[in-house]
Amino acid sequence: MGSLNIENVKKAFGPVEVLKGIDLEVTDGEFVVFVGPSGCGKSTLLRVIAGLEDSTSGRVLIDGDDVSVTPPAKRGIAMVFQTYALYPHLTVKNNMGLGLKQAGTPSAEIDRRIKIASAMLSLEPYLERRPAELSGGQRQRVAIGRAVVREPKLFLFDEPLSNLDAALRVNTRLEIAQLHRRLKATMIYVTHDQVEAMTLADKIVVLNAGRIEQIGSPMELYNSPANDFVAGFIGSPKMNFIDGAKLGETAKTVGVRPEHLTVDAKSGAWKGTVVHAEHLGADTNLYLDCEKAGLLTVRIFGVYNAEPGATLYATPDPAKTYRFGADGKVLK
Which residues of this chain interact with other proteins, rule CB under 8 A?
Answer: 47, 50, 52, 71-74, 77-79, 81-89, 98-99, 102-103, 130-134, 136, 139, 146, 158, 163
To other proteins, the closest distance from the beta carbon of 1 in angstroms equals: 18
To other proteins, the closest distance from the beta carbon of 102 in angstroms equals: 4
To other proteins, the closest distance from the beta carbon of 129 in angstroms equals: 10
**Residue number, 154 or 312, with CB nearest to other proteins:** 154
Tell me how far apart the alpha carbons of residues 178 and 42 are, in angstroms, rounded to a whole number.
Answer: 24
Contact 32, 203 (CB under 8 A): yes
To other proteins, the closest distance from the beta carbon of 306 in angstroms equals: 42
**Residue number, 9 or 78, with CB nearest to other proteins:** 78
**Residue number, 77 or 314, with CB nearest to other proteins:** 77
To other proteins, the closest distance from the beta carbon of 282 in angstroms equals: 33
Strands (E), the chain: 4-13, 16-26, 31-35, 57-62, 65-66, 77-80, 154-158, 186-191, 203-208, 211-216, 240-243, 253-256, 261-264, 270-279, 283-290, 294-301, 311-316, 321-324
Sequence-distant (≥ 6) Cβ neighbours of residue 125 within 8 angstroms: none
Residue type, 46: L
Cis peptide before 237 (omega within 30 of 0): yes
Q: Is the CA virtual torsion 191, 195, 196, 200 positive or negative?
A: positive
Report the DSSP beta bridge partners of residue 263: 314
**Residue number, 6 or 154, with CB nearest to other proteins:** 154
To other proteins, the closest distance from the beta carbon of 278 in angstroms equals: 31
**Residue number, 39 or 308, with CB nearest to other proteins:** 39
Widest CA span of the chain, in angstroms? 76
**Residue number, 121 or 134, with CB nearest to other proteins:** 134
